[in-house]
Structures are given as C-alpha cells and as structure tokens.
Structure 1
Amino acid sequence: MSRVGKMPIAVPQGVDVAITAEQITVKGSLGTLLQSMSPLVSVKNEGGSLNFAPVDETAAANAMSGTMRALVANMVNGVSKGFEKKLNLVGVGFRAQAQGQKLNLQIGFSHPVAKEMPAGIKVECPTQTEILIKGSDRQVVGQIAAEVRAIRPPEPYKGKGIRYSDEKVSLKETKKK
C-alpha cells in the first residue's frame, strides 16, 4: 500500500469535509474546494481524521490512494491556512503594481503588461520589485505564478526578468575574443 496513502489527514477546527460518491467538498474560512472521487479509493471520516484506502490490491488503486490523500491534504491546508508564491523582479526599471484583481508590470517592454487574476486569487506588491500571489487552491496559485514568470523569465547572461524568490539563476559567461 502507498506510504503516503496510509497517513491520515487531521481535519482542523473550522474545516468541514463532506464526502459523497462523486466528490469531496472541503469548506473553511478561506473558501470551498471540490475534488472528484476516484472509484479506486475509499475515504472514511473517522473522528476528525480522514483515512484513504485502495478498493482492491492493484497498483493503480494503490497509487491513486496516495494521490487522493495528497490532493485532499492540500485542500484542507488551503482552506485553513492558504498558499502563497513570492516572485521577484530583477532589472533596472522593472516595477510591479497590484490594482485590485489586476497586476500591472513594467518589465522592459515598450508597453506595460496587465495580468488579470482569476476569482479566489489575491495579488499583493509589498515593494515595487516583489509580487505575492495568494489563494486557497495550491494548483491555481502555482499556475498563476508560472504564467506571471513566463511573461519575462530570467535571461542567462544578466539574470534580468521575473523569478521565484527561492530560484537560483546560474549566469553564463560572455563570449571572449
């Protein structure tokens, strides 16, 4: 059996979990998330903890039990604490500004770039060169952060561009005569 799938998920106070045959619904202070159920996995809510078990002894059911457990654990963590990604702008004159659900970027193009945020995602700019993307759905937060980074990824010679705060960019040496 999957080692990840064996671990129970502790459901904190203020988080409600509803399990039906088709989906799992997790409600918390930061929102509501849905996950469709796999027929290969059985889920039980026993006294404030969720337990996942494969329905049969196949490798697919074993793998899916660990996958479902990880997805639901991220949902429980997201509606109680939330997720965030931090991006940094590196370059002379590179600036970011958050205006409601819109992120305005001036990153060396001849025009400013505006990125609209989907529902459930908040964007903040503590400084002009930092972007904080917050939300309850881990997948959506990561996807939006990747889309913002893809607007101007770090280039390999000077390192200018948008990068994750923990990303290390190895710089190439310039051509010698």
Structure 2
Amino acid sequence: MSRIGKKPVQVPSGVTVNVNGQTVIAKGPKGELNFVVNDEVLVKFEEGAVSVQPKDQTKDARSKWGMSRSQILNIIEGVEKGYERRLEITGVGYRAAMQGKNLQLALGFSHDVVYETPEGITISTPKPTEIVVAGIDKQKVGQVAAEIREYRPPEPYKGKGVKYAGERIIRKEGKKK
C-alpha cells in the first residue's frame, strides 16, 4: 500500500481544481496547470480534496498511485505559491547577469555562455554570484536549474563552479609532495 497515495490532496482556498476523466486541471493566482493521470489510476474530486486510487492491485498500478498523487500536489502548490530554485556561483571571475530575457554566464570559458529563458520560467540575478530560477511548474524549474548547473558543475578541489544553494560539496585534498 502506498502511504503517500492514501492521503487525499486538500485544495486550498483560492485554487480551483477540475477533474475531467483522467485530466486534473488546477487554476490559481499564479496561473493554470494540468496533469494527465495514468489509465491505471482512478482520480476523484470530492469534498474539497482530490483522492487517488489504483484501478486494481497489480504492481504497475500501485507503483503509479503515489506518483500520481505527488504530481497532483505539485500542480496545486505550483498554481498557489509557485516554486523557486537558487543557484550560487563560486570562483574568481565567475558571474551571472541578465541580458534582456537571456542569462549571460561568465564561467571561465573563452566566451560567455548565453542561456535562453524558456516559456513559463523567470530567471533573476539579485547578486552577480546568485541566480534565482522561479516558475509554477516544479519539474520545469528543476530542469532549468540543472541545465544552468551543468555548464560548470562544482569541482571537488577548490569548489569552483555553479552549485545549488545549500548544496554541500565534498572536498578532496590536493597532491602532497
């Protein structure tokens, strides 16, 4: 039994949820998102909560049960509050700046890296060494943050590179003579 899947998702005030067959549509102050639930899972909206049940007790249906509930929770929280991911840049001469809608990164290469902001995502740079990725879709926010980090992941010797805020880099000791 899925411990996560058993709990119904409560719909907060200010958010409207519509279940149309296998499609769950959430509208809130930040925008609108939808999620198509797998056919092996039943979705019901009753008494201000969305409940999810597997159609049968097969391993496949049970494995998609908790995941579907988590996805529904993510879209409801996204349209209500939104999501953000912070990145920190460490290294001499490493910096970030917004250039119109694009993010310009100086990461020690011979050229600046220009990252185009995708639709539905806002990127800001409060400091030259800090990047804030925000949006209503949790998966998209995480994907954009991972793509930016991928340009120069933190290295273990000096810790230079782009890392998530609060991420702990395991440092290695250098060569000894």
TM-score tier, shorter chain, comes to: over 0.9
Q: Where does residue 50 of structure 1 map in the other structure?
A: 50
| Kept in 1: contact 2:22–2:42 (CA 8 A) | no
Pair 1:8–1:22, CA change in 2 (3 A): closer
What is aligned with 1:151? 151
Deviation >6 Å, runs of 4+: none
> Deviation of residue 109 (structure 1)?
1.3
Please say if 1:71 is aligned against 2:68.
Answer: no
Residue aligning to 2:131: 131
Paired residues for 1:1-177 under 5 Å:
1-177=1-177
Structure 1 SS opposite 2:166: coil
- Taking the aligned partners of 1:14 and 1:42, their CA distance within structure 2 comes to 25
Instruction: Work out whether residues 22 and 43 of structure 2, in 8 Å CA contact, stay in contact via their aligned partners in 1.
Output: no
Q: CA deviation at 1:135?
A: 0.6
Aligned residue pair count: 177
Segment drifting more, 33-42 vs 85-94: 33-42
Distance in 1 (CA, whole Å) between partners of 2:55 and 2:167 is 40
Rate the CA distance shift 1:33–1:100 in 2: closer, same or farther, 3 A.
Answer: farther
Gaps of 5+ in 1: none
Q: Which amino acid aligns with 1:14?
A: G
TM-score, L = length of structure 1: 0.95
Post-superposition CA distance 1:80-121 (Å, at most 9, x none): 011111000001111111234311111111111110111110
1:125 counterpart SS class: strand
* 2:85 aligned counterpart, secondary structure: strand
Pairwise CA RMSD: 1.2
- Secondary structure of the 1:67 match is helix
The question of whether the paired residues in 1 share the 8 Å contact of 2:104 and 2:114 is answered with: yes
Q: Aligned pair in 2 of structure 1 residues 157, 114: CA closer, same or farther (>3 Å)?
A: same
Q: Secondary structure at the match of 1:126?
A: strand
Aligned amino acid, residue 158 of structure 1: K
SS of alignment partner, residue 38 of structure 1? coil
**Residue 99 to residue 80, structure 1, CA distance change in 2 (3 Å):** farther
TM-score (norm 2): 0.95
Question: Cα gap change, 1:119/1:54 in structure 2, threshold over 3 Å: closer, same or farther?
Answer: same
